[in-house]
Amino acid sequence: MKLKILFSFLLLLILASCGSKKRVINKKNTGVVIAEPKPKELPSVNQVEFTKKLANKNPRLNKQTLAYIKKYAPIAVQEMHEYKIPASITLAQGILESGRGRSELALKSNNHFGIKCHTQWKGERVYHDDDEKGECFRKYVYPETSYNDHSLFLTQRKRYAFLFDYPIKNYKKWAYGLRKAGYATDRKYPVKLIQIIKEYKLYEFDKFKKSKFKKEVKKLNKNNEIEQAIVIQKTAKNYYIVQKGDTLYAIAAKNNITIELLKEINNLDGNTISIGQKLLIK
């Protein structure tokens, strides 16, 4: 009798745990490669001192949120300078959408903004329940690509165009504008963003000057420009077959691609290649 009760209890626990978690299934789109260059080093935006000061003033602030700000504030500032989206808005959205970077979608897929696949997405994807069951979400190698894709998502869609008429320091208008444009279905979405921005003083990151930041970026990365992620179709014409005497350097130069990217999209750890080997080149 006791064993029967124990078995029933364990069964209930298993069913409860299955129902409470969102199931994530990885599915690769074998027809394409999203070539995500290794992220460049970004300068400090005083995020370490900033979060430390916040924590000292208000010990009740969420530690995970503070850690998120400390880790991703430079990326938000970088995106602000490139696309004119307030860093405060980007950070607040990242915190809210990713559950402070702790959601399954963020941890397993580096998707910090809950961006779904949509018809034009050619990269890797994951499926899990959201507004509907088994919805398709974008998957990234680096969180930096997620941030950049968020910027592209807002700048390349006409329904968000009016947002860029707002002053970059007016995060309240941006918050309500995102809801108006249909970014989120939650009516309280703007209020939630504004609350995060105010509580963690994220508006301070909107004040960072572009010229100084860009100089520091170039200095840290030896004047190399920051490369964006690109989509490469896996078709026969986009492959190169290694010939006798070929080197990675020669193949890269001949096909107008960097050695770093050539190695990355072909999963090469070193510079060794063999005759007859097929390399994806574009």
CATH number where 106 lies:
1.10.530.10
pLDDT the model gives residue 3: 47
Q: Do 242 and 156 sit in the same domain of this protein?
A: no
pLDDT the model gives residue 35: 75
Provide DSSP, 36-66: -PPPPP----SHHHHHHHHHHH-TTS-HHHH
| 22: helix, strand or coil | coil
Domain-located, residue 19? no
Query: Comparing 273 with 4, which gets the higher pLDDT?
Result: 273
Q: Do 137 and 260 sit in the same domain of this protein?
A: no
Domain-located, residue 13? no
State how far the alpha carbon of 257 is from the alpha carbons of 9, 31, 91, 93, 107, in Å: 59, 20, 33, 34, 31
Domain-located, residue 156? yes
Specify the number of domains making up the chain.
2
Model confidence band, residue 49 (pLDDT cutoffs 50, 70, 90):
very high
For 91-150, the pLDDT digits (tens) are 999 999 999 999 999 999 999 999 988 777 777 888 877 667 778 999 998 999 999 999
Asked which of 30-39, 56-65, 187-196 is least confident by mean pLDDT, the reply is: 30-39
Q: Do 247 and 149 sit in the same domain of this protein?
A: no
Query: What is the H or E stretch that residue 127 is in?
Result: strand 125-128
Q: Do 114 and 44 sit in the same domain of this protein?
A: yes
pLDDT the model gives residue 87: 98
pLDDT the model gives residue 16: 39
Q: Do 173 and 200 sit in the same domain of this protein?
A: yes
Above 60 in pLDDT, residue 12?
Answer: no
Q: Please give the residue range of the domain that contains residue 205.
A: 25-220
Q: Do 81 and 166 sit in the same domain of this protein?
A: yes
Q: What is the CATH number of the domain that holds 243?
A: 3.10.350.10
pLDDT the model gives residue 231: 65
Domain-located, residue 3? no
Q: Do 170 and 260 sit in the same domain of this protein?
A: no
pLDDT the model gives residue 33: 65
Asked which of 37-41, 71-75, 106-110, 137-141 is least confident by mean pLDDT, the reply is: 37-41
Model confidence band, residue 5 (pLDDT cutoffs 50, 70, 90):
very low
Taking the CB of residue 180, how many other CB atoms lie within 10 A of it? Answer: 14
Query: Comparing 186 with 13, which gets the higher pLDDT?
Result: 186
Above 90 in pLDDT, residue 22?
Answer: no
For 188-231, the pLDDT digits (tens) are 999 999 999 999 999 999 999 999 898 999 899 887 766 667 66
Can you tell me which residue has the tokens 């924590």?
Answer: 55
Based on the number of CB atoms within 10 Å of its own CB, is 15 exposed (0-12), middle (13-18) or buried (19 or more)? Answer: exposed
